[in-house]
Amino acid sequence: MTLEVIYLTRHGFRSNWVVDPKTGTYSASIPSPTGIPSDPALAGYGVAQSHELAAHLKTLSPPIERIYSSPFYRCIQTITPTLDALSSSHSLKVRGENGIGEWYGLARFDHPSPAEPALLKTLFPHYDETYTPVIKPSVNGENIEELHNRTAYALHRIIEQSDREGVKAIVICTHAATLIAIGRVLTGRMPDDIAEEDFRPFTCGLSTFVREGKEVQAGVEEWKGPESRIPSVDWRGGKGVGGGWKLEGSGECGFLSGGEERGWRFSGDESFVAQPGQAPALDAGSGLGVVVEGNKGSGPSRL
pLDDT, tens digit, for every residue of 153-163? 999 999 999 99
Q: What is residue 302's predicted lDDT score, i.e. its pLDDT?
A: 35
What pLDDT, on the 0 to 100 scale, is given for residue 99? 98
Q: What is the pLDDT of residue 238?
A: 96
Q: Does 22 have pLDDT greater than 80?
A: no
72-86, 167-181, 272-286: least confidently modelled range: 272-286
Q: Which of residues 93 and 286 earns the better pLDDT score?
A: 93
Cα distances (angstroms) measured from residue 265 to each of 134, 160, 258? 26, 29, 20
Does position 37 have pLDDT exceeding 50, yes or no? Answer: yes
pLDDT band at 42 (very low <50, low <70, confident <90, very high): very high
Q: Which of 140, 156, 158 is nearest to 148 (CA)?
A: 156
pTM: 0.92
**Sign, CA torsion 265/269/272/277:** negative
Q: How confident is the model at residue 300 (pLDDT cuts 50, 70, 90)?
A: very low
Query: Would you place residue 275 in the very low, low, confident or very high pLDDT band (cuts 50, 70, 90)?
Result: low
- When pLDDT is cut at 50, 70 and 90, the band that residue 298 belongs to is very low
Domains defined along the chain, listed by start: 5-292 (3.40.50.1240)
Residue with the larger pLDDT of the pair 187 and 291? 187
Give residue-wise pLDDT tens across range 69-100: 999 999 999 999 999 999 765 679 999 999 99
Pairing outcome for strands 206-211 and 245-252? antiparallel
Q: pLDDT grade, residue 24 (50/70/90)?
A: low
